[in-house]
Amino acid sequence: MQVDVPGKVRNASLAANKALLPLCEAVINSLEAIEDAAEENGRIDIRIERDTSSLLHGDESGAADVIAFTIEDNGIGFDEAHFSAFQTADTTYNARRGGRGNARFQWLVAFERAVVESYFETASGMFYRGFEFIPEGSGIMNHRKQSATRVSRATSVRLTGFRERYRRQCPKQCETIAARIIEHCLEYFIRPTCPTISLHDESLDEHMDLNERFADEILAHSDRASFSVNGNDFQIMHIRLRSALEKEHRVHFCADGRVVSSEKILGRIPNLARHIQDENGQEFTYSRQHCSMNRSTQSAQGSHSQTT
């Protein structure tokens, strides 16, 4: 069966205000690749590329538009099984995690192409695979595979050619981009086995350790409780999110390590103020995350987070 990638991309919906969703889903892919590799020292490096020629048109902070992202990890890589799954539309390869096999098509909604380079291990040694994913034909262009002398796994996905509609909506501040990544991957950050995740912006000379950011700004202001429903165990995590990072009260429905959907809740809870202050007068928003402790029962209905 052939896959009409332009048709899949045309039918993949992505609101303009979700400009960072393709990036976040690429980070989820890296987290899953590290999990598949059983890599104990997992790492993910996210690099921001900017249109430095447009600095005169940046916002009041002087930050230029974001034009591309590169996500690098030391996960399992694009071996034969993972490359085959990548080429299969609506693949069930990650169904056990709740994946529907369509997130990569959203890459091509917001970006012109994804450039992939991967070093992976096989029984015959280390190999290199490179290709471009584009919204044409079968989607794969310039595919090449060859033996490699490299001794460690590494995969990079560069999302480039940020389309104008989404580029305009993409946050310019590293702080905001970091907050969105943490929010989307919150269930992974909570896990003690979470890989080291870093965000780099060479043009602004900014480098952030997202694990430290999560620990300092979220985990330090959290509390946990547990309950059961029909034999399924859940854990509630109460979190304070600083208003500088999360300005809206919102409900986040999460499952299998990712946010499935979000809804604004201002006005739905009586007397909920737009701005809440802690005992030191600092503004924050309150987040409550419900996580299923029964892996087999995790679903969009069984696990969610709530930001209020």
- Could you report the per-residue pLDDT of 160-178, keeping only the tens digit for each? 999 999 999 999 999 999 9
pLDDT given at position 178? 95
Establish how many alpha carbons lie within 13 A of residue 187's alpha carbon, considering only the half-sphere containing its beta carbon. Answer: 26
pLDDT given at position 242? 62
- Report which of residues 12 and 117 the model is more confident about: 117
What average pLDDT does range 184-205 have in this prediction?
Answer: 91
Residue 119 pLDDT more than 50?
yes
Confidence of residue 90 (pLDDT cuts 50, 70, 90): low
Residue 194 pLDDT more than 50?
yes
pTM exceeding the 0.85 threshold for the entire prediction: no
Establish how many alpha carbons lie within 13 A of residue 139's alpha carbon, considering only the half-sphere containing its beta carbon. Answer: 23
Confidence of residue 298 (pLDDT cuts 50, 70, 90): very low
**CB of 301 closer than 8 Å to CB of 98:** no
pLDDT tens profile 254-281: 666 556 677 777 788 788 777 777 777 7
The candidate with the shortest Cα–Cα distance to 146, out of 167, 163, 131, 133, is: 131
pLDDT given at position 14? 93
Distance CA 220, CA 23 (A): 26
pLDDT given at position 287? 61
Distance CA 54, CA 65 (A): 7
- Report which of residues 278 and 25 the model is more confident about: 25
Domains and CATH numbers, the chain: 5-216 (3.30.565.10), 221-307 (no CATH)
Helix (H) / strand (E) containing 200: strand 196-201
Distance CA 202, CA 84 (A): 34
The residues near 262 (Cβ < 8 Å, ≥ 6 apart) are: 250, 251, 252, 253
- Report which of residues 41 and 233 the model is more confident about: 41
